[in-house]
Amino acid sequence: MATKGELITQEKAKNAGAVIRGLAASLKGLADREAVEGAIAVSFERIALLQEMNAALSQPAVEALILYAGRELQQYEIGESPDRPFPDGLLLRAVKGALCKGYLLTDARGPHFAIMGGKGNATAMIKEAGYRHKLSEAGCTDIRVLTATLGTRPRPNAPNKTDMLVYGRAICTHNGKEILVERPKDMPYALPSFGDDGPDGYEGKARRRLLRDLWAAVSGEWAIDSEDEIVQPVVATDTPLPRIAETDINPQALYDGTRADLQPYLLSLPDDGARETFAAVLDLIDETGDPELLQGKIDTDIVPVLRQLKVSRSIGEKVVRLANHRIAVLRADGR
């Protein structure tokens, strides 16, 4: 473990960076080999490379530099209070996890991540600059993000809390193809509202979410749920923002929003056959004009195909929810 006075020299930092750069390049190349050599074999090699990278990052002088960069130079954000700082080991583990994924300890564009705590753990929450770096590194160009706020509404499962509603789109060009992810105005992100961020702060959080989804569409790398479930205090505000009732969101808007939410997953599927099959499921839902017929197809056609594709539980539930929104649309139209 790092101790004070062990700060790394410039020469040692250069050498450590060269080792980590080589390991990072090897990790990046594994994805291209999975289809040829098999995912299982490559996964073992990935663990071995991560082990080597962790060893390089665990040198006492490197650990001291990581702590100094965050606590003294504020090159990455640490969500700790002065009277209850994170233990060094917990902070280092979270930072190393972000570095092993290819995010940077420091960048002229701003912090790549923030270390946040909750439930006795610490997590690296990737920030806008981090996702922009990964997109640029993957060869994406013309990266654009547009967001706007709608106001607040009570949180459905916690009436004493509120969420800020934010919508927008993120777009880039990757391998000559335009990639777009979008949250429409009628199906916005619901971000925890703490009262002290203001519209700019919420739009910044929405940009991060959109860039996260854009990165998922480009790379297939999905953020773990805990990155967006950081526990923070609720701060009261004397000037409540306008609220949007849930009843203002009609069935068609719910359907369109859920369909847009599934688009990054569809684009991230690496296999053409799986991508075409998943797209066919979405088209089946969209093109069925009889609500009773679609209700029956959920069990006979949709769920069996999802099982065959081995989609995650959350994606499967979202597809079924999409079908139910479509049924509601059809019934609202009198069919």
Tens of pLDDT along 112-127?
999 988 667 888 889 9
Mean pLDDT, residues 282-310 taken together? 89
302 DSSP 8-state letter: I
The answer to whether residues 64 and 79 touch, using CB atoms and an 8 Å cutoff, is no
Q: Are 103 and 126 in contact (CB under 8 A)?
A: yes
Q: Is the pLDDT confidence value at 254 over 80? A: no
Distance between CA atoms of residues 14 and 241, nearest Å:
50
42-74 residue pLDDT tens: 788 888 888 888 888 888 888 888 999 998 888
62 Cβ contact list (under 8 Å, min separation 6): 2, 8, 13, 16, 56
pLDDT reported for residue 237: 31
pLDDT digits (tens, 9 = 90+) for 262-285: 877 887 777 788 888 998 999 999
Residue by residue, DSSP assigns 214-261 as HHHHHH--PPPGGGG---------SSPPPB--GGGS-HHHHHHHHHHH
- Nearest partner of 85 among 106, 105, 70, 104, judged by Cα: 70
- Cα 190 from Cα 145, distance rounded (Å): 18
**Longest CA pairwise span in the chain (Å):** 74
Residue with tokens 């949709």: 302
Q: Are 179 and 214 in contact (CB under 8 A)?
A: yes
pLDDT the model gives residue 245: 41
Give residue 197's pLDDT.
64
Q: Match 């519209």 to its residue by tokens.
A: 199
More reliable by pLDDT, 61 or 9: 61
